[in-house]
Amino acid sequence: MFYFDPWLLIVTAPAILLMMWAQYRLRSTYTQGMQVGTPLTGAAAALHILESEGVTDVAIEETHGHLSDHYDPRDRVVRLSSEVFHSRSATAVGIAAHEAGHALQHAHGYVPLVLRNLAVPAAQFGGTAFTILVLMAFFLRQPQFLLFGIIAYSATVVFQLINLPVEFDASARAKRHLGELGIVEDSGATAVRKVLNAAALTYVAATLESLLTLVYYAFRFSTGSRSDDE
């Protein structure tokens, strides 16, 4: 019989603790970086980076919310939160440059980004299907539903694994362009590096949590199947 037990929290505890640390670091470095001035706003920095690479068909738009910054490959738009859009700070230009990095990946046909975009529907479906199938396995006491859930959740894990190099590469592009274009100097470069590294750590934690969750349920299915055979 399959059920939720404390072992799930124990197995995923390293990822949960890492995520808590990453979130703390991100909040801390975000605040510190906002105190380091830069000559350009986040919006201007993103536009400057894109134009320096000859990418002129990507719009820069303001959006609501905190840390809601993202690149939309369908509409080819870099959307920046109000604080990042308007602020002349290391945090703002670092985050904006990171999202511009995604736009550059798209423009240059960066393969991991292409794969990630293709994996998005499967990952979204996999996460929802996983929850439903695990509940069905629990209430109906039918282990095959758990197996189907594990297979569905694998799509989410694959997405997370593909996403890591995409995020790391976008940050690497951001750091390089900000330095080469003179948008940040020594203190600004340090602040940008801290913010982007903290953000990257959140992706690592999310990936680790997905992997450990998958391992836990695969183990539960394996041991449950053996118990049923005895």
State pLDDT tens for residues 103-112: 999 999 999 9
Q: Does 82 map to a domain? A: yes
Q: Does 212 map to a domain? A: yes
Range with the poorest average pLDDT among 23-37, 48-62, 215-229: 215-229
Q: Does 134 map to a domain? A: yes
- In which domain, by residue range, is 118 found? 6-229
Q: How confident is the model at residue 226 (pLDDT cuts 50, 70, 90)?
A: low
Residue 13 and residue 203 in contact, taking contact as beta carbons nearer than 8 Å: no
Q: What confidence score (pLDDT) does residue 142 get?
A: 85
Q: Does 218 map to a domain? A: yes
Total number of domains constituting the chain: 1
120 closest CA partner among 88, 82, 162, 86: 162
Q: Does 225 map to a domain? A: yes
Q: Does 63 map to a domain? A: yes
Pairing of strands 77-81, 59-63: parallel
| Tens-place pLDDT, residues 120-169 | 999 999 999 999 999 898 888 888 899 999 999 999 999 999 999 999 99
pLDDT at residue 95 above 80?
A: yes
2 closest CA partner among 115, 148, 129: 148
Q: Does 1 map to a domain? A: no
What is the rounded CA–CA span in Å between residue 78 and residue 69? 8
144: left (phi over 0), alpha (psi -120 to 50) or beta: alpha
Catalytic residues: 99
50 closest CA partner among 114, 86, 101, 110: 101
Residue 198 and residue 19 in contact, taking contact as beta carbons nearer than 8 Å: no
pLDDT at residue 187 above 80?
A: yes
| Tens-place pLDDT, residues 42-73 | 999 999 999 999 999 999 999 999 999 999 99
Q: How confident is the model at residue 228 (pLDDT cuts 50, 70, 90)?
A: low
Q: Does 39 map to a domain? A: yes
Residue 97 and residue 49 in contact, taking contact as beta carbons nearer than 8 Å: yes
